[in-house]
Amino acid sequence: MVEKIYDSPAQALEGLCKPGMTVAVGGFGLCGIPEQLIIALRDTGVTDLTVISNNAGVDDWGLGLLLQTRQIRKMVSSYVGENEEFERQFMAEELEVEFNPQGTLAERLRAGGAGIAGFYTRTGVGTVIAEGKEHKQFDGHQYILEEGIVADLSLVKAYKADTSGNLIYRKTARNFNPMVASCGRITVAEVEEIVETGTLDPDQVHTPGIYVHRIVQTESEKRIEQRTTL
């Protein structure tokens, strides 16, 4: 059996990073982001990245760290409203951005992982989202063709893994992580706990180990994106 467990995030990314690659990253806001793997990716110094993620973190955490160091050339995202540096680079035309409806982005990631080259959806018809895309009519309604996403590298965060790479996510931290895990040519998972193979209930596994190539155990910081008090 191939050894999948690595001692540190830096070791888990060793040999995987190259300029111009496409990186899919799990998470929603700051929930369920592979925070230590993002830091390790920053520390490689790799540039010209296309990053696919629901959002771009905040200015000083998550993918915001890669924006600070100008390592991201293009973002493929759905919601980016919490990052001032993202806004500044976008408005200054220093960052290329491809916006996707949130459900469309999730399905593009899932489709890529399932080997589906593309799919038709009504979402975005008649808007700028549909510009330049193939249109087709089904049952009297217009649909647009969206392409599945396959990333060079996927980075995900899970609650628990076994030594074979089977992953369990915790509650809302699951979010985009299962789709991101499946769409990467190489997938690296940052987890809070690693157990022996055979320990996990197969019915509780969210991502099968066949999708996961490397695992690293980390200690989460779990920052809060917007703290509200009464």
Residue at 230 is within a domain:
no
Q: pLDDT tens for residues 104-114? A: 999 999 999 99
Residue at 142 is within a domain:
no
Q: What is the pLDDT of residue 1?
A: 65
Residue at 181 is within a domain:
yes
Q: What is the pLDDT of residue 83?
A: 87
What phi and psi values does residue 116 have, to the nearest 5 degrees? -100, 120
Residue at 224 is within a domain:
no
Which ranges of the chain have pLDDT less than 70? 1
Residue at 125 is within a domain:
no
pTM above 0.85, yes or no: yes
Enclosing domain of residue 108 = 5-115+148-217
Measured CA to CA, the distance from residue 20 to residue 131 in angstroms comes to 25
CB atoms within 10 A of CB 226: 8
Residue at 129 is within a domain:
no
* Number of domains within the chain: 1
Residue at 171 is within a domain:
yes
Q: What is the pLDDT of residue 230?
A: 78
Residue 222 CB contacts under 8 Å (≥ 6 apart), including other chains: none
Q: Give CB contacts under 8 A, 24+ apart, made by 1-6.
A: 1/164, 4/163, 4/164, 4/165, 4/209, 4/212, 4/213, 4/214, 4/215, 5/163, 5/194, 5/214, 5/215, 5/216, 5/217, 6/214, 6/215, 6/216
Q: pLDDT tens for residues 74-94? A: 999 998 877 899 999 999 999
Grouping H, G, I as helix, E, B as strand and the rest as coil, residue 85 is: helix
Q: pLDDT tens for residues 144-171? A: 999 999 999 999 999 999 999 999 999 9
CATH number of the domain residue 12 falls in: 3.40.1080.10
